[in-house]
């Protein structure tokens, strides 16, 4: 059986979130990474992992306002070269799960970690509601908006580990609802619904 043909519940996933100094992976930097593995419709909290990442240059003022951090406060954080091997190990063999995954995929590509099969909760939510990027209200499809809609506790915004955990739980709700409606069954179905635009639609946290 090919990976895409397996039932979606049989796949192993890892929900990933980056907090960064901006939304352009070509020039901005990650300051925090957080991830949570999932398997068999269960979030594996024992495998949760997060790390700060030391930036190589000061933040722009608007980034400081969002994260409440500054480059000076992260001077003792690990460098990217130290974080990357641990991230590669935890991603290995799993399906990447993210909300607005264009950002995470962009940084992974920049870091030379490759692009694993990716399930994106943003297009899944749009598909569930039979909405498109042209018809949807953007504020209804942020990660925190979907969490509140599905009764998932918002632990704290702009924290990578908290957002990864929220993403994992939102994904489980979306996947179960899509399956209940007969619109997905396999991992391949999820991957098909998660096609990525060549250009960002909007910036969602």
d(CA 153, CA 77): 28
**Average pLDDT of the chain to the nearest whole number:** 87
Inform me whether the pLDDT recorded for 95 exceeds 70.
Answer: yes
Inform me whether the pLDDT recorded for 203 exceeds 90.
Answer: no
What's the mean pLDDT in 14-41? 93
pLDDT in tens, 108-153: 999 999 899 999 999 999 999 999 888 889 899 999 999 999 999 8
Identify the weakest region by mean pLDDT among 77-81, 144-148, 154-158, 181-185.
154-158
DSSP string for the chain: --GGGSBGGGSEEEEEEEEESSS-TTT--EEEEEEEEEETTEE-GGG-EEEE---SSPPPHHHHHHHS--GGGGTTSPPHHHHHHHHHHHHTTSEEEESSTHHHHHHHHHTT-----EEEHHHHHHHHTT--TTTS-GGGSSHHHHHHHTT-----TT-HHHHHHHHHHHHHHHHHHHHHTTS--BHHHHHHHT---SS------
Per-residue confidence (pLDDT) for residue 66, from 0 to 100: 55
Per the CB < 8 A criterion, the answer to whether 179 and 185 are in contact is yes
Q: Which residues of 106-144 are buried (b: 16+ CB within 10 A; e: fewer)?
A: bbbeebebeebbbbbbbbbbbbbeeeeeeebeeeebbbb
d(CA 172, CA 106): 24
CATH superfamily name and code, 3-193: Ribonuclease H-like superfamily/Ribonuclease H (3.30.420.10)
Which of the pair, 24 or 65, is modelled with greater confidence?
24
Inform me whether the pLDDT recorded for 2 exceeds 70.
Answer: no
Q: How wide is the angle at C-alpha 107 spanned by C-alphas 196 and 63, nearest 5°?
A: 105
Q: Please tell me the pTM assigned to this model.
A: 0.89
Per-residue confidence (pLDDT) for residue 135, from 0 to 100: 87
pLDDT in tens, 69-93: 656 668 889 999 999 999 999 999 8
Inform me whether the pLDDT recorded for 44 exceeds 80.
Answer: yes
């Amino acid at each position: 059986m090919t990976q895409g043909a397996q039932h979606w519940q049989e796949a192993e996933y890892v929900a990933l979130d980056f907090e960064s100094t901006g939304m352009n992976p070509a020039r901005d930097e990650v300051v925090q990474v957080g991830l949570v593995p999932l398997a068999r419709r269960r979030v594996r909290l024992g495998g949760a992992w997060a790390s700060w990442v030391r930036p190589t240059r000061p933040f722009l003022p608007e980034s400081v306002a969002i994260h409440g951090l500054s480059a000076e406060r992260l001077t003792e954080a690990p460098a990217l070269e130290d974080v990357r091997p641990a991230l590669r190990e935890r991603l290995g063999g799993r399906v990447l799960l993210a909300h607005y995954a264009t950002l995470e995929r962009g940084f992974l590509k920049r870091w030379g970690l490759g692009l694993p099969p990716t399930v994106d909760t943003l297009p899944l939510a749009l598909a569930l509601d039979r909405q498109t990027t042209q018809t949807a209200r953007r504020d209804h499809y942020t990660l925190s908006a979907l969490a509140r809609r599905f009764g998932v506790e918002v632990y704290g915004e702009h924290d990578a580990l908290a957002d990864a955990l929220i993403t994992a739980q939102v994904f489980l709700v979306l996947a179960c609802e899509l399956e209940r409606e007969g619109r997905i069954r396999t991992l391949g179905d999820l991957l098909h619904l998660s096609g990525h635009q060549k250009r960002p639609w909007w910036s969602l946290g």
